[in-house]
Amino acid sequence: MTKKEPVAFTELKNFSAKIQTLQSILHLLQWDQETYMPEGAIQSRTDQISLLSSMIHDHKTSNQFKHELEKMVSLSTWKPKVKGLSKESLAILKNWTRQYVKEKKLPTSFVKSFSELTCESSQIWATARKENNFKLFAPFLQKIITMSRQKTEILGFEDHPYDALLESYEPAMTTHRVETIFSGLKNKLIKLLRKIQNAKPIDNQFLYAKVDEATQINICKALLKKLPLEKGYTRLDISTHPFSIAMHPHDSRITTRILPHSFMSNIFSILHEAGHSMYELGLPVKHWGTPLCQPSSLTVHESQSRFWETIIGRSLPFWQNFYPTIQSTLPKQLKKIPLSLFYRSINTVTPSFIRVEADEVSYCLHIILRFEIEKELIKGTLQVADLPYAWNAKMKELFGITPPTDTQGCLQDIHWSLGDFGYFPTYALGNLLAAQLYTALKKQYPTWEERVAEGDLDFIRLWMRANIYQWGKMYDSNQFAKRITGQPLNEDAYFSYLKEKYNAIYSI
- Which are the catalytic amino acids? 273
For residue 494, give the nearest of 429, 443, 444 by alpha carbon: 429
Residue 109: what residue type?
Answer: S
Amino acid at 484: I
On whether the CB atoms of residues 232 and 277 are closer than 8 A, the answer is no
CA dihedral 272, 276, 279, 283 (to 10 degrees): -170
Handedness of CA 87, 89, 95, 100 (dihedral sign): negative
Length of the chain measured in residues: 508
Q: Which residues, 6 or more positions from 413, have their beta carbon under 8 angstroms from its beta carbon?
A: 355, 370
Q: What 8-state DSSP symbol labels residue 310?
A: I
- The letter for the amino acid at 504 is A
Distance CA 270, CA 251 (A): 17
The C-alpha atoms of residue 238 and residue 257 are separated, in whole angstroms, by: 5
DSSP letter, residue 359: -
Sign of the CA dihedral with 109 first, then 115, 120, and 125 last:
positive
| CA dihedral of residues 155, 160, 163, 165 (deg, nearest 10) | 60
Give the whole-angstrom CA distance, residue 113 versus residue 298: 24
Beta bridge partners of 256: 238
φ/ψ (deg, to 5) at 334? -120, -5
Interacting residues of 117 by C-beta distance below 8 A, sequence separation 6+: 140, 143, 144, 147, 419
CA distances from 387 to 78, 119, 301, 505 (A): 41, 22, 29, 36
Is residue 265 within 8 Å of residue 214, measured between CB atoms? no
